[in-house]
Structures are given as C-alpha cells and as structure tokens.
Structure 1
Amino acid sequence: MTHETPPVHDHVLLRTEGRAGYVTLNRPKALNALTHPMVLRIEEALTAWADDPRVEVVVIDGAGDRGLCAGGDIRAIHEDARTGGTASADFWRDEYRLNALIARYPKPYVALMDGIVMGGGVGVSAHGSVRIVTERSRVAMPETGIGFVPDVGGTYLLALAPGELGTHLALTGAPVGAADALLCGLADHFVPAAALPDLASELATDPVRAVLERHVTQPPPGELDAARDWIDRCYAADTAEEIVSRLRKAGRPEATRAADTLLTKSPTAVKVTLSALRRARRLGPLERVLAQEYRVSCAALSSADLVEGIRAQVVDKDRNPRWSPATLEEVEPAVVDGYFAPLDADEPMLAANPSDQEVVW
C-alpha cells in the first residue's frame, strides 16, 4: 500500500511503499537547494519513521535530472548577511541537527547521490549509512568560493579522508566523481544511473544488502589516487601560504592549477577552512564538529566576504569577487581565531558523547 503526500507546492515529497520510506527533494529548478522548511520537514519524517516498524529503510533522492541537491538557499543567505539578519543561523542550527540525526539514524539510510551533490546536499547524503554515487555524480564542498567555510559536517568528513585529500577538496572546492568520492570516504557504492529507478523500487520489497548485490559495480577510474604524492606532500604544510608555495614548487601541472584555483578563493575563508579541518581531526564525534561549524558559520554571516562572494558567484554572476583582505598574507591570525569563539546559549544543543548505534541491514 502506498501513501502519497500531495505534491502541490511541496518542496519535499514523502511517501511510503512496502518496507521503505522515500524522501524526494523537489525544487528541480533550484537544483533542489534546501530551505529551512525543507529541513524541518525531512527531520519530522525521519523522526516519525524511526519509530514506525513498517518503515525498515529510508531512501532520499532529488527531483529532476541534474542532481540530488546543490546546497542551501544561497540567495536567502545573501539577503540575510547583507541586512544583518539571523534567519540563516536558525536554519543552520536545524540543518546541522538533521545532519547529526542522519548520521545516527537507527535504520538504513540510502542516499542516491546522482548528479550534483554540493554543500547541504552532502549534508543530507554523505552522513547516511548507504551512500550511492553514479557516473554522473559531482560531489563538492565549494564554500571557499563564496567566502564561506565547509559546514553540514563537511569538515568532519573531509578531515577523515585519506592523507590530505580532504584538505585539497576543502580549500579548492574541487568537485569529484564517483571513484574519487569513494576514495575520499564520501560514498560507499557505485551504481550506474540507469539502474537507480530499479534499485529504489526494489528497496520497497527486498533487504538493502540483497538490492546492492544486484546493482553495485565498479566505477570509471578516478583522478585523485594517482595524485596522492603531491597532494599529501603539499597540503601537509602548516599554513595556507606554505601550501601554495609547495604547490608551485611541486613540478606538476595539476599542482600549479590547484594553487591558481586556491588563490581565487576568499583568503579569509581559506585560512579559516584550513584551521577548521585541523581542529576537526582532534574534536572526535560528528556532533562536536557540527558545533564548531555552527560557530564558524555564524561568524561568516557577518563577514564582508560572504556577501561579496555570493554577489559575484550567484547574484551578479560576474565571477570577480573583491575579497577583503585580498591576499592570504593579509589575513591576521586573530581574525581566524575569532571564527571559533564560543556562542554561549545560541550554540546547537548537540550531544557531546553520542552513543554509536550499529545499523543492521
């Protein structure tokens, strides 16, 4: 028996079929970008299904053919930052709680990471227990390009990537395909895009493991494994300036291009991101990293670079942000440290010592 949620004007479609609960992000014209009501609706559904014995598995995907989700509603964040509002802080608080809920979900959470999966899209997928990428997947945390810092648990995930791969992806915002997403620990399985409809349908009747065995195969070759030598050596440096210097001296065209890309990003965001990643490695559970990300995000909301970055990339689209300060050397250490200052009562009430709960398929 199928229970449909009326789709009219609904940006999150919910339905149950057989043993599965399905969540579809439904803003295809906006590449399914997340809004605050969408986050709350997903949380409500997941909370209800966690205690519903009829729902044994949850599946999330995106409407349209372009991707799962391109992130949060950037234009809304821009307006909030430009006018000194606080709605974005409220949004992030609930979004990060949703990320933690997904990571600790007591039932298999199957994320179909087809097409573009960026920012907030990573948050609603890469914390799941079954993460599926396709030949069309482009997974990224591109926040430094808009004067922001990877959030939604992105610094947690990237800090856990092998060697310095996560540092490379975080600072440059470079997207990765299926094989590299698997290598970096952002996904678990490769399934051809054409097989996703059958896979999703079969989860309504069959156990997750059996469905995966029918559809999982090997991805096309990636690029990052062969680049580990220069990536690990260059990005192990203590400062962003030294990273750029090592990339320039690496003698590899790819390393030079990475340096060029990094230098187009917000210098402040680059330095804060590097510090956030290094701190995340020492923090432990996801919830503690999310609490740190909340502090950083709230600090970024009042920064000039966030307003300027979104203006240049999304609003005016001139692709010519005027960062302040304009160079890495001009970013003062005290400014970076200020992003990590405690927020007292405004910080999300995230569990400090969550209990790890094994997901049984």
Structure 2
Amino acid sequence: MERSSAPADPATNIVSRVYGPIGHIELDRPSKLNALTLGMLTELTRVLSAWAEDSSISLVLLTGRGERAFCAGGDIADFHRAVTTGKHQEFLDLLSLEFDLDYLISTYPKPLISLAHGITMGGGVGLASHAPVRLVTQSATMGMPEAKIGYTPDVGGSHLLANAPGHFGEYFAMSAASFKGADAVYLGFADVVVTDSFAQNILDELDEFVGLSAGEIISAIEVLHGAQESYALELSQGWVDHAFSADTPSQVLERLEQMVHPAARQAAETLLANSPSSVSSAFYTVRKARAEQDLRSALDRELRMAGYLMHQPDLAEGIRAQVIDKDRNPRWSPALMSGVDQYALRSLAEGSQL
C-alpha cells in the first residue's frame, strides 16, 4: 500500500514516494540524462533528511528514470552560464550543497540503496557511489570526466579514485576515461553488479530486505541477484602503476611517452588533449585524498579546487568546446603542463586558500 510523502514541487524533477517501510526517490529528468539542477539537489536533501528521521521508513531506494542514464552529473550548461556571467559564488554555493548531500548519503543512518545504470558520471557518481548499498548494472558507464572540460574531479570522486587498486585513481582522474559497471566493484565504485532483470524490477524485490543491515543487504543481493563482474582492468595494472606512480604530473606524462605499450601511448595522447591545469589538479587531489582517507576532507579540498578553477579560462572554454559548440577543439590556457601554476594547485590540495 503506497503512503505518499509530502508533495514536492514538480519543477524539482524529483519524485519521492513511500511504500510501507520503503522510501523510493527517483531522479526525473530523463530528457537531460537526469543532470542535476539546484532544485533537484535541494529536494533530494529535503527528502533524504526527512526520511532519515522518519522511524516508519526502514529502507530507501534511489534510482533514475529513463533507460539512458541514472545521472550524467551536474547541469553543465548552468555551470557555463555561471562562470561566464560572474555568478561564480552562486555556483560555488550550489556545489557546496551538492557535496553536503553526497556526505549525507555516505553517512545515512539506515540502508540507502543506489542503483546506477546507463550514464553515471560526475555528480551521478556522487549520488550512487557513496551510498551504504551501491548497486550497478553491467552495462552502466561510469567515470569522472572533469579533466575534459577544464574542471577537477569532485563530489568525493577523488576519495573514491584514491581507493581504487594501485594507481588507477590517477589514471581515471587525469585521463577522464570512463569504465563499465562490470568494472565498478573492482574499482571501488559499487558493491554489487546486478542483473538487468533485478534492476528493472528492483522495487518489487525489496520487501525481503526490510529490516536487514546494509551489509546484510549487500550479501543477500549478491547471492540472489548478482551478475558477473569484470577483472579485465587487472591486465593493465602494470603499465598504469608504473606511469601513474610518478611524483609529479609532468613525470607521469614523461613515463607514458617513453613506454612502448600501445595503451600507454594512447593514455599520453589523452592527457595531452585534456586541460593541463585539470590534469594537474586531478593528480594532486587524488594523491592527497589517498594520504588522508577522509571523505569530508576530500570534499572540502575539491571545493577549494573548484573555487580556483572556475576563475581560470579553461573551464568556460572546455564546456564551450565539449557541450555548447561541440567542436571538440578546446584552446587551453596554459596550453602546456609546463605553464601550469603547479604550486597553486599543490597548495590548494594541501589545504591552503589562495
């Protein structure tokens, strides 16, 4: 029997309903790949905060409507408008709200199940990969693509990447490469890869998990509905660790360019095509996140980096090239890593406010 939650403004693109002891939240902006807006973030925070205190709700499910995406991240067009019209602080406030939401999800006091499918990038990873129970379909496409647009991994992505095996964290952060859901458990972005059948009918399957702890739910779903994981990335561990364990971003690039492995050469080309400032920022944020092992610190560090990079030319230019004009030909400034203010980025990663 459905027990409706307090009505929400349809403009928020969030649908929240209660079915007995189960609360279900859906991202409802499928035509925009469920990209997050201020209204969506505000409503998600409101509903999750209310349900955390509601003793009648034992379990919460978070999904995205539409076949194409769980959530493609933040609304990049809104970001572009903010940094090109002088509304930097407004957007920084939005990011702060989003990061606080991600932290709320990570510390949720009852089992919160996220189900990542389709495109799950950037802000979508923030919602999906910090939950107490993290499910993903085999075919989902996940990643932190920020280095392609002159930005930096955020929403706690640096913390997740820092805990990936070896130095895959630096690789995925600096290259902005994506990976499939079948690889998500190996990389630490999910707990269970689930079958498509279970994903499509998940709400009908949850009654049997009510009353279980998050750990018990993970174990039960893995046994009953788990799909095959991939360990293909292990084959790349050697060259990835050799190159991305270097002490500086420039040394990473030098090692890649010296290697004969075709994948390493391709990675070098990818890094050279991305914003040099973003590639460097990604390196420092992942390294510091690995050293500290604290999600809240990682989020605070990412916010400092965001505040710095949104005042640099690459962010507006990267969004223009990738999203607005789609010419895929960004003109980075500086154009080479040798011109990047490495001291500023390293200082921000270590805790300084410039």
TM range (shorter): over 0.9
The one-letter amino acid of 1:118's match is M
* Number of the residue aligned with 2:187: 184
d(CA) in 1 for partners of 2:223 and 2:291?
36
* Number of the residue aligned with 1:217: 227
The one-letter amino acid of 2:209's match is D
Deviation at 1:249, TM superposition (A): 2.5
d(CA) in 1 for partners of 2:197 and 2:140?
13
The CA deviation string for residues 81-134 of structure 1, in whole angstroms up to 9 with x for no partner, is 111212211101111101111111111111101111100000011001111111
Deviation at 1:300, TM superposition (A): 1.3
* Number of the residue aligned with 1:103: 106
Q: Is the 8 A contact 1:111 1:131 kept in 2?
A: yes
2:200 to 197, 200, 217: 197
d(CA) in 2 for partners of 1:162 and 1:284?
14
Deviation at 1:41, TM superposition (A): 0.8
> Is residue 320 of structure 1 aligned with residue 315 of structure 2?
no
* Number of the residue aligned with 2:28: 26
The CA deviation string for residues 319-359 of structure 1, in whole angstroms up to 9 with x for no partner, is 00000000112213234246456459xxxxxxxxxxxxxxx
* Number of the residue aligned with 1:356: none
> Which segment drifts farther, 173-182 or 64-73?
173-182
> Which segment drifts farther, 240-249 or 317-326?
240-249
> Is residue 282 of structure 1 aligned with residue 291 of structure 2?
yes
2:127 to 88, 109, 124: 124
| TM-score normalised to structure 1 length | 0.90
* Number of the residue aligned with 2:83: 81
1:145 to 140, 145, 148: 148
1:35 to 37, 54, 68: 37
d(CA) in 2 for partners of 1:12 and 1:343?
35
What value does the CA root-mean-square deviation take over the aligned residues? 1.8
Q: How many residues align?
A: 343
d(CA) in 2 for partners of 1:268 and 1:6?
40
> Is residue 248 of structure 1 aligned with residue 250 of structure 2?
no
2:269 to 241, 260, 267: 260
Structure with greater helix percent: 2
d(CA) in 1 for partners of 2:10 and 2:289?
41
| TM-score normalised to structure 2 length | 0.92
* Number of the residue aligned with 1:55: 57
d(CA) in 1 for partners of 2:51 and 2:314?
40
d(CA) in 1 for partners of 2:42 and 2:11?
16
Deviation at 1:285, TM superposition (A): 1.8
Q: Is the 8 A contact 1:167 1:274 kept in 2?
A: yes
SS in 1 for 2:128: coil
Deviation at 1:8, TM superposition (A): 4.3
The CA deviation string for residues 224-255 of structure 1, in whole angstroms up to 9 with x for no partner, is 11100111111000122221221223221111
d(CA) in 2 for partners of 1:54 and 1:201?
19
SS in 1 for 2:51: helix
2:159 to 156, 161, 177: 156
The one-letter amino acid of 1:76's match is D
* Number of the residue aligned with 1:350: none
d(CA) in 1 for partners of 2:250 and 2:67?
40
SS in 2 for 1:84: coil
Deviation at 1:190, TM superposition (A): 0.9
SS in 2 for 1:254: helix
1:227 to 198, 223, 236: 236
SS in 2 for 1:149: coil
Q: Is the 8 A contact 2:133 2:191 kept in 1?
A: yes
The runs of 5 or more residues in structure 1 that have no matched partner are 345-361
* Number of the residue aligned with 2:73: 71
Deviation at 1:180, TM superposition (A): 1.8
The CA deviation string for residues 127-147 of structure 1, in whole angstroms up to 9 with x for no partner, is 011111112211100000000
Deviation at 1:55, TM superposition (A): 1.0
> Which segment drifts farther, 231-240 or 335-344?
335-344
Q: Is the 8 A contact 1:14 1:22 kept in 2?
A: yes
Deviation at 1:3, TM superposition (A): 3.2
* Number of the residue aligned with 2:17: 15
> Which segment drifts farther, 269-278 or 142-151?
269-278
d(CA) in 2 for partners of 1:176 and 1:211?
22
The one-letter amino acid of 2:57's match is V
